[in-house]
Amino acid sequence: MTNMLSLCVLCGSRDGGDPAFREATVRLGHLMARRGVRLVYGGGSIGLMGILADSVLAAGGEVIGIIPDFLIRREVGHRRLTDLIVTTSMHDRKRRMFEMADAFVILPGGLGTLDETFEIVTWKQIKLHDAPIVVLDVNGYWEPLKALIDATITGEFAHASVRELVTFVTTPEAVFDELPVTHQQTREEILTSQL
């Protein structure tokens, strides 16, 4: 499966207070594995990061974790992944995730998720990449992000076209409508095509 689509998912190292965050994360993981989409993520085994990795693995998918050495203990580096890449810094972690991704999905998360999100959106704005960035807005969690983007426009710090840098969706299923291929093969279709 060398042509497998790789999806970098940015999300929290905590579960968050709404059970819907966990449910959406598990659903996204199952859908990724079923469609033959490889997960690239921050390498942790806790919070939504761990939930996502576990759900992809449980459904038979591939997971590549990328974690800086100093966070292996704090975020409890996941030990059952397809591959765990250990970096020397946060900057290297973000660069490696960026290089390995065909598209990006943002799940609920905290300040680290916001940091990664703004960097990947800014890189798209300055044309370092043209990959889709999809925000999975579970129960309105990311409404403040949408409002902040609008505020940069109304405050005349950004052109209205910055709204086009990010797509907001409300279900895991809708994420796949925004990915860079027109037909997402299921895992069964991929395996059948290899026979």
pLDDT tens per residue across all 195 residues of the chain: 346 699 999 999 999 999 999 999 999 999 999 999 999 999 999 999 999 999 999 999 999 999 999 988 776 889 899 999 999 999 999 999 999 999 999 999 999 999 999 999 999 999 999 999 999 999 999 999 999 999 999 999 999 999 999 999 999 999 999 987 534 444 445 444 444
CATH code where residue 20 lies: 3.40.50.450
In a domain, 82, yes or no: yes
* Number of domains comprising the chain: 1
In a domain, 186, yes or no: no
pLDDT at 183: 42
DSSP reduced 3-state for 62: coil
In a domain, 160, yes or no: yes
Query: pTM, whole model, 2 decimals?
Result: 0.88
- Provide the token pair at 16: 């968050």
- E-only strand ranges, the chain: 6-10, 38-41, 63-68, 83-87, 103-106, 133-136, 167-169
In a domain, 28, yes or no: yes
Q: What share of the chain is helix, strand, coil (3-state, %, to 5)?
A: 45, 15, 35
Of 62, 59, 28, 18, the closest CA to residue 169 belongs to 28
In a domain, 33, yes or no: yes
In a domain, 83, yes or no: yes
Compute how many other C-beta atoms are within 10 angstroms of the C-beta atom of residue 182: 5
Q: What stretches of 41-169 show up as alpha helix (H) in DSSP?
A: 47-58, 90-100, 111-125, 143-154
**Taking the CA atoms of the chain, what radius of gyration do you get in angstroms?**
16
pLDDT at 181: 59
Of 48, 57, 8, the closest CA to residue 25 belongs to 48
The answer to whether the CB of 93 falls within 8 A of the CB of 87 is yes
pLDDT at 190: 43
**Structural domain boundaries, residue 18:** 6-178
Length of the chain: 195
Q: What is the dihedral of CA 171, 173, 176, 177, to 10 degrees?
A: -80
